[in-house]
Amino acid sequence: MAKELWTFAEQVDSTLEPISFELLGRGRVLADKLNTKLASVVLGEKVDRNGVEELFKRGADKVYLVEKPQLKTYVNDIYANVLIHLIKNYEPAILLAGATTTGRSVLPYVAAKIKTGLTADCTEFDIEEETGNLLQTRPAIGGNIMATIKTPNHRPQMATVRPRSTPIPPRDDSRSGEIVEVDVPEELLTGREEMLGFKPMENADVNIEEADRIVCGGRGLKKGENFKMIQELAHRLGAAVGASRDAVDRGWAEYPQQIGLSGRTVVPKLYMGFGVSGAIQHLAGMKTSETIVVVNSDPDAQIFQVADFGIIGDLFEILPELIQELDKRKAKGN
């Protein structure tokens, strides 16, 4: 049997994040191909045991659990120290993590320290039959090609996966697993960084990665004050506000609202885009939405290639009409 395949399970306030379960979908398929065990690594303090048991129900065979007060909140140096300790002691073949703020911070640091490879923002995985190497596929050259990368000479093979790019596996109540509680040396629990406090980002009360409806604005809105129309429509639809990279770069929206390769991947039931041209990087972050509705004055805009419903027209005429129509329906009680 090959060495284990690991996924990194993230927690916030001792509760496991959805990405922890999403990764099990990818990991289970790969572990079965390798005929090996699938294990999740959980770092925290007083982690919810129901969440840990849920990892087994969703596909994990084993959980490595490290609980210390210093692990309650993510601190890069400390988390990296503990992960390196676990890797050196248990020698996994593969380690997958989410391409979240945490995953994108700690895995590159760990990879550099243990001198192995890391592929970021992967969209597909497979196992090379002849060697058992992990084939890691991700967009490259601005999304114009898909590159498949492997790490033949160093272990573990490491990669990050975009959140919401994989559905959470179905629950199997018949599954159970082994919890390995690991005690780590105290010297690993100090670092150069210290958490002094936490301040939520303004206008980030809705996580666009979890939203069922998103109204997105792009450069076609022309100036920041016009972005208020996006917010007004989103409010009336009970939707989250998204933005293209151009809109964020111009200061019309904040980074947590950015959709695309350099922002968030979203799969809402409804995506509405206004003044979004459809750069490849943006399309990669939203094209799997269930229903895509877009408005753009350019008939050749790339966004129309993925749209279910497209309107070639002036958003400054269409957006106010939509808002007014919704107000009328609300007034009538519809």
pLDDT tens-place string over residues 291-332 = 999 999 999 999 999 999 999 999 999 999 999 999 988 877
Same fold, 5-189 and 208-331: yes
- What's the longest Cα–Cα distance across the chain? 67
How many Å apart are CA 256 and CA 251, to the nearest integer? 12
Output the pLDDT for position 123: 83
Output the pLDDT for position 167: 85
Mean pLDDT value of segment 35-60 = 95
Torsion over CA of 292, 293, 295 and 299, rounded to 10 degrees? 60
pLDDT tens-place string over residues 194-210 = 778 777 665 555 678 88
Topology of 208-331 in CATH? Rossmann fold (3.40.50)
Res 143 pLDDT > 80: no
What is the model's pTM? 0.74
4: which DSSP letter? Answer: P
Sign of CA dihedral 131, 28, 280, 253: negative
261: which DSSP letter? Answer: T
3-state secondary structure of 147: strand
pLDDT tens-place string over residues 11-47 = 998 999 999 999 999 999 999 999 999 999 999 999 9
- What are the domain boundaries of the chain? 5-189, 208-331
How many Å apart are CA 254 and CA 8, to the nearest integer? 28
Output the pLDDT for position 68: 94
Percent of the chain with pLDDT over 70: 96
Confidence label for 285 from pLDDT (cuts 50, 70 and 90): confident
How many Å apart are CA 233 and CA 274, to the nearest integer? 11
How many Å apart are CA 272 and CA 266, to the nearest integer? 12
Domain formed by 5-189, architecture: 3-Layer(aba) Sandwich (3.40)
